[in-house]
Structure 1
């Protein structure tokens, strides 16, 4: 069984001086999330971070992010979101073969597939330069189709920043994954896809794409207010930050847990 942890929307932010303060909210929140991951009795096999790693896409922000993630002993797989800069992300994580900028044209889509304990993790790039919404053009969709076709018998988790299903929060759906029909058609043709996981929403949700369970991850920093009215209020709440943990078996069964940030020790045994 593979255990894949998901962090999302860390939003590490530099101040006016161009440096990231040690006591800033996003830094303290990510430290807590990393500590929470390390406190799990079963350590994840890998961690994927589904976008909006930084607030402004600055080199200093990625450098601090890289340092904050360094206590994690497992592989960490970063992906871009609409707040990110692909080139600066690649430069900061140049030690990661799948992310390396070597031979890549500037601002090329950052997408790759890797093996995690016998399960495939396919990381897609849904970002659109200079825009908050998401999309996958014909080239990115062709890459996804070919990548999935290369391993039809391996249980696969597909990761995006923008969720390919409606959330119901007007503020988020205004920045949605535009025209996800092509993405959904490809997912529908590749039966080995057992889960589609996304960020962007700053809270956990569960939907479906082509009949597959699809989820969004809580932010390690701030959660968005659950206002399903129209037009609704765009606001953050005091709800706990968190992350997700996905369990995938060799037979293709998948389970997702949403975990609030913190080191929650057992209060008592129940057996």
Structure 2
């Protein structure tokens, strides 16, 4: 079984120590897991302003993790600054192997826009076609399904049908994972399951018909457990450890 930890919406800022402290606690919780993840994926909004100094803070906080960490951008990030801070990441769209799983990291950002869309569907199609027999997790920042909350969906994924067409052709995709929402959610998507992840910092009050507001929910992250074509996702609260 392969375990992938997903941390999202860190919003590290060089003018506010609070999100840095929050990430530090999230990393401590990951390190306390009884079975360590095989890898960690960061699904966007890693920084609040996309400044080089914020990515330097991020690298410092991630040094405690012994497993590989795979970042991808969100709408608060600067793609060039992110790639400069993580020279091992070859491009905004890239794929790696984590345990026995293909982790496909996609850039869904549109410069200057809070919403997003798949930046390179042809690349995703070709990448998934390379290893049709290997279970795959497709990761991005913007969820490709409506959350059911108007103000969140207005800055969501602009063309989920295009992504759905690609994913549906590749039954080895066991999860499509995203961030952006600052809350955990689950939906059927293109013959598989799509999820969003809590934030390591502040959570959003997800209330259909409600106004935009932060919630009092604790920070969290997701754990994706993949065994062949079987997968299960757990949402964990930061600070909660095994007894």
> TM-score scaled by structure 2?
0.98
Q: Secondary structure at the match of 1:186?
A: helix
Aligned to 2:26: 33
Give the aligned partner of residue 118 of structure 2. Answer: 136
Aligned counterpart, 2:198: 218
Residues 91-150 of structure 1 show CA distances to partners (whole Å, capped at 9, x for unaligned) of 1111x2xx14xxxxxxxx60101101111000011000110001125xx00000000000
Q: Report what 1:4 is aligned to.
A: 4
1:239 alignment partner, one of 199, 202, 217: 217
Map Cα deviations across residues 64-113 of structure 1 (whole Å, 9 max, x no partner). Answer: 0110011000000000000000111011111x2xx14xxxxxxxx60101
User: Does the CA-based 8 Å contact 2:33-2:242 persist in structure 1?
Assistant: no
Cα pair 1:242 1:259 within 8 Å, conserved: yes
1:259 equivalent among 216, 233, 236: 236
Contact 2:171 2:191 in 1 (8 A): no
> Is 1:77 paired with 2:70?
yes
Alignment match, 2:180: 200
Which digits, 9 at most, give the CA deviation of each residue in 1:30-83, with x for residues without a partner? 001000000000000000000000000000000001100110000000000000
Residue 182 of structure 1: how far off its partner (Å): 1.1
Selected match of 1:146 from 107, 126, 135? 126
Q: How far apart, in 1, do the equivalents of 2:207 and 2:178 lie? A: 20
Deviation at 1:169, TM superposition (A): 1.5
Aligned residues: CA RMSD = 1.0
Aligned to 1:224, the other structure's residue is in SS state coil
Looking at structure 1, the residues matched to 102 and 43 of structure 2 have their Cα atoms a distance apart, in angstroms, of 16
**Structure ID, larger Rg:** 1
Rounded to whole Å, the distance in 2 between the matches of 1:160 and 1:239 is 23
- Deviation >3 Å, runs of 4+: none
Q: Which runs of 5+ in 2 are unaligned?
A: none
Whole-Å separation in 1 of the counterparts to 2:151 and 2:53:
29
1:234 & 1:25 partners in 2: Cα distance?
21
Counterpart secondary structure, 1:4: strand
Task: Show CA shifts across 1:195-248 (max 9, x none).
Answer: 10000000000012112111000000000012211xx21111111000000011
Does the 8 A contact of 2:2 with 2:98 survive in 1?
A: yes
Name the SS of the counterpart of 1:190 in structure 2.
coil
